[in-house]
Structure 1
Amino acid sequence: VPAVPIHGITTHSARVNPGHLYIAIHGTNLDGHDFIPQAIDNGAAAIITNGRDVGQLPVPQIKVANPRRAASFTAAEYYGHPSKKMSVVGITGTNGKTTTAGLISAMLKAAGEKVAQIGTLGTIAEGYCQEKTLTTPDPIALHKVLFDLHQKGFTHIVMEASSHAIDQSRVADVDFNFTVFTNLSPEHLDYHGTMADYFQAKLKLFTALPRTATAIVNMETDYGQAIFDKCAVPVVTTALEKTGDVFFKDYQISLAGIHGTIQAGEITYTVDSLLIGKFNAENILCAIATGNAMGLTQNAIKNGLKQCASIPGRMESFALRSGATALIDYAHTPAAYDKVLSTIKDIVAEQGSLHIVFGCGGDRDRTKRAKMATSAEQFGYYCYVTPDNPRMEELAVITSDIVSGFRANEYAVFDDRGTGLRHALDRATENDVVVILGKGREDYQEINGKKIPYSDLEIINEYRDAR
């Protein structure tokens, strides 16, 4: 292949400009190889393919075994491997990624570092604006973001690494200095097929680390032990009890937060956090272990914990005029439901009732829908089934899958999420908790291929102010 000047990289034929390298990806719904003529018409200077016969092309064609992997490598090269010029923390796990990322970012800020956070909430970086897309952006977008952040003087990156991103090589050429494993429970099985394959995707993040890296592993599940056994780099373990390198000596959990003492080697930390739940205690352990491994001072870690009062959309509570509490959480798996709802139920005890507003995403794993209803029914006084990003799937099908998991008749079905949420907020009385699951701080509903403006928080605010 002759030397060809490249002025940009893309996997979207419609975004090709003159001089761009077009990488044809065979996706779930579309095959990028079918759009090579459009890419060439738009001025593509070269094409990367998977070797499929696409005929004679008027521009150089590079055939590779894995175009996704090529996209990652090429993007990293094109942007000068920006991750090698910063300290990068990668966080993976079914639950807890965003909270743990927020805690670590707060600690780095408290240490005076210029830090950016990349994940479900988008790119959070002072003076930098980036539209929210996937939990982990595609490799071309990701390396462009990393390049821009480095150009703006950012020295530290804390990013979530989803199983899809790892499996699709989106982070294959990110140079991680630290990686964190939070936990693993059934999720994305519509994509991965089995828990074994799901775990293997997560494991890749740890087996591909450079020897200079450090892994932080939550040992509260057997998967943590499996990662520990496979890691070829130093590992710092965390556990609620004394079995971890970083652990709680004692702790108490209430609606007011988590209070206790953490031992990290020779250092003892007093924890007074507004975060709620045992799973957040695990996230705090992961964050403190990471801060320690990064060499942050005790004051930076302590002040970071204090400043990170709450994570948007994660066990975020709001006092209502009725004397009830509204709590929103991004939980969207059966395991996350069990964790969130059992935590709140234990705290509320007999003082109040739980009203649970939830739905299930369309075009996703159908097997978890009934399980989520069963969990909601187990802990809730009454359930309000609503849409939650039905996407291209029929709402009636999603709802039918959900209600098959109920055993009693203590639920109502709503075709409009806002209507269902208002019903719950209207019924809740003093000491009750309205738990709104699935969307967190999302400001849209994804319906029939369109993002329709919608916010759980906006409706909650109606009940915090004048009713």
Structure 2
Amino acid sequence: MEITIKDILLNIEQNTLQSFESLKINTGTVCQKITSMYQDIEQDTVFILKDSANADYYAQCAYQMNPLLIITDVTPAIFSHHETSTPIIYINDFPEVANNLVKLFYTPAIDNMKFIAVTGTNGKTTTTHMIANLLTKLGEKVAIIGTMGVYDCNYNKLSFNHTTQTTPMYFEMAEIINYFYKKEYNYIVYEATSIALDQRRTDFIHNDLAVFTNFSPEHLDYHGNIEDYLSAKLRLADLSSLNLINFDTAEYHSIMEDHRHFSEYQDIYYQYKVSHNEINFVVDESQFVVTPNFKGHHNYINLATSIFALHKLNYDMKQLTEAAIMIDPPLHRFQIIEINNYMIILDFAHTSSAIEASINNALNYSENIGRDLNAMVTGIGLRGFDKIKRTVSNLPKGINKLMLAAEQVGFVEPETIISVMIQNLPSSYKTYDVLKSSSRKEGISGLLYATDKEKEIILLTGINEPQNYKGKKYGHDDQDYINKLLSYLH
């Protein structure tokens, strides 16, 4: 179906701040594409620009790409100093306009796909991937969208332009959905962050199921307070036909719509108990046991959540438990690797509660194999000092050698991050015994050199991705770096 400028103007008419008669544009012109990324402007493209600190710069870049039309919620006075022949429409509700335009351009794809959204403070990525992998084992054609990127049904990572990590912006998300619709996929499983929900980025999607994993303080630098953070999470319930909640999280009780929810501690419809090597399930008094082919208490919790999610969508429990023993967790989610006889656990944990859980899991694992645990914990400059303080102050006892390092520092000096970490260490850790490094790479190399590979194992927490430092991004992968580092020694 061809969409004209007239169709677009009629679609957004109730949210515009000016008369269309003043526009010097042929309303019969066919629009081939709509985007919020100036880099994606092509011939006959409409550009929709959200107000931000960089809006002026993005507008200048867009002018050079010659879009048909710019739609924006930026104050008109900001653009008054620009000379451009591109018509500009000013609007009063960016999310409303963006969602309506997504529906105008992508309704067939949106209406013909099934969606599962996963939210929560921790576990979104792992749960999303496990749900998708289980569905794949059951014969469905599934795509994944989240922190690790976009994956097809063969678990190949695809290249899509992303301006926002984890949950893409309105039109980016819609284009990904449209891509998989044309490939005749059944499901998209995606991570729904609190920030994306607050910005109404996925309001155009009606989910078959929303999964609520857990809840603890996070992203307060954006939301301002815990109440607004929770409110953003709970928005997902209104966008979904069914909700599956972690009953052990009291904050989610308000969105219970039926009795089919899960708990590790209470007698409800879905129950689970995690031991060192297996998960015991009780589903409406029927019992099942799964022995996964991976480790990690929190991985087991996420697998249990994934199984319950699909059972709530009427998949057979026996088939789900059979599929569960064949799947792997996503990369770097309590991934145990051995390199040159070093045993190393890679875990992407980067929130206070996730790091605490990861260390406790690693302590249990190291005890079971008769070794001591050395761990690296990082302070992340991009997330603010409150998060750094909370992360360090909640460190469990028992780490044999603790490495504190700075990563993703942005424009914060690494020494400042390390200083804040030292000041907030629990009393169980003596400052003079703690190892310190100004970067993730230095922290890894320092911990390797300090480790007795016969008696100790290593846990690396934090964001194992390219590092942001003073406006530049530097490539990095823990496993590749460790391989290179140890190859120099042999």
Task: Name the SS of the counterpart of 1:171 in structure 2.
Answer: coil
The answer for the alignment partner of 1:147 in structure 2 is: 178
Tell which structure's C-alpha radius of gyration is larger: 2
The answer on whether the counterparts of 2:414 and 2:439 sit within 8 Å (CA) in structure 1 is: no
Q: Out of 413, 418, 441, which is 2:441 matched to?
A: 418
Among the aligned pairs, what percent are the same residue?
22
- 1:447 and 2:469 equivalent? yes
Residue 93 (structure 1) aligned with residue 117 (structure 2):
no
User: What do the CA deviations read for 1:21-58 (whole angstroms, capped 9, x no partner)?
Assistant: 2212112x3235x6546534532222322272256985
What is the match of residue 99 of structure 2?
72
* 2:271 aligned with 1:240: no
Q: Which residue of 2 aligns with 1:380?
A: 399
Which stretch has the larger CA shift, 124-133 or 409-418? Answer: 124-133
Are 2:311 and 1:292 aligned?
yes
Indicate the structure whose relative CO is greater, using CA pairs within 8 Å and at least 6 residues apart.
1
Superposition map of 1:329-408 within 5 A? 329-349=347-367, 351-376=370-395, 378-406=397-425, 407=427, 408=430
Q: Secondary structure at the match of 1:174?
A: coil
Q: Which amino acid aligns with 1:337?
A: I
User: Which of 155-164 and 67-76 deviates more?
Assistant: 67-76
Determine the C-alpha separation between the residues in 1 that align with 2:171 and 2:122.
26
Deviation at 1:414, TM superposition (A): 1.6
Residue in 2 aligned with 1:17? Answer: 42
Given the alignment of the two structures, is residue 182 of structure 1 paired with residue 213 of structure 2, yes or no? yes
Contact 1:184 1:221 in 2 (8 A): yes
Provide the C-alpha distance between the structure 1 equivalents of 2:44 and 2:317, rounded to a whole number of angstroms.
51
Give the AA of the match of 1:157.
I
Deviation at 1:449, TM superposition (A): 2.2
Deviation (angstroms), 1:462: 5.6
Q: Which structure 2 residues correspond to residues 155-234 of structure 1 after superposition, within 5 A?
A: 155-209=186-240, 213-228=241-256, 233-234=257-258
Distance 1:246 1:6 in 2: 49
- Consecutive unaligned residues of structure 2, counting only runs of 5 or more, are 1-19, 21-26
Matched to 1:206, the amino acid is A
**1:135 aligned to which of 154, 158, 166:** 166
Q: Secondary structure at the match of 2:275?
A: strand
* One-letter amino acid of the counterpart of residue 262, structure 1: F
Unaligned segments of structure 1, at least 5 residues:
none
Distance, in Å, in 2 between the alignment partners of 1:234 and 1:287 is 18
Is contact 1:107-1:301 (8 Å) kept?
yes
Q: In terms of mean alpha carbon deviation, does 115-124 or 383-392 score higher? A: 383-392
Give CA-to-partner distance per residue, 1:305-336, whole Å, 9 cap, x none: 112233211111123544x5211111111111
Superposition TM-score, scaled by structure 2 size = 0.84
Render the CA deviation track for 1:171-230: whole Å, top value 9, x for unaligned.
Answer: 111121111000111111111111111111101111233xxx1111111221232332xx
1:347-378 CA distance string (max 9 Å, x none):
43493322111322223231121232233473
Aligned CA distance change for structure 1 residues 116 and 12 (closer, same or farther; 3 Å): closer
The aligned residue for residue 31 of structure 1 is 55
**2-structure distance, mates of 1:462, 1:304:** 36
Q: Which residue identity lines up with residue 240 of structure 1 in the other structure?
A: E
Name the SS for the 2:107 alignment partner: coil
Number of corresponding residues? 450
- Structure 2 vs 1, CA of residues 174 and 208 (structure 1 numbering), >3 Å: closer, same or farther? closer
Deviations 1:403-453 (A, max 9, x none): 22124222122234223212212332334221101124x2x2222222212
Superposition CA RMSD, Å? 2.6
**1:82 aligned onto 2:105:** no
Distance 1:464 1:22, change over 3 A: same
TM-score (norm 1): 0.88
Alignment of 1:46-61 (within 5 A): 46-50=69-73, 52-54=75-77, 61=88
Distance, in Å, in 1 between the alignment partners of 2:84 and 2:263 is 57
Q: Tell me if structure 1 keeps the 8 A contact 2:299–2:333.
A: no
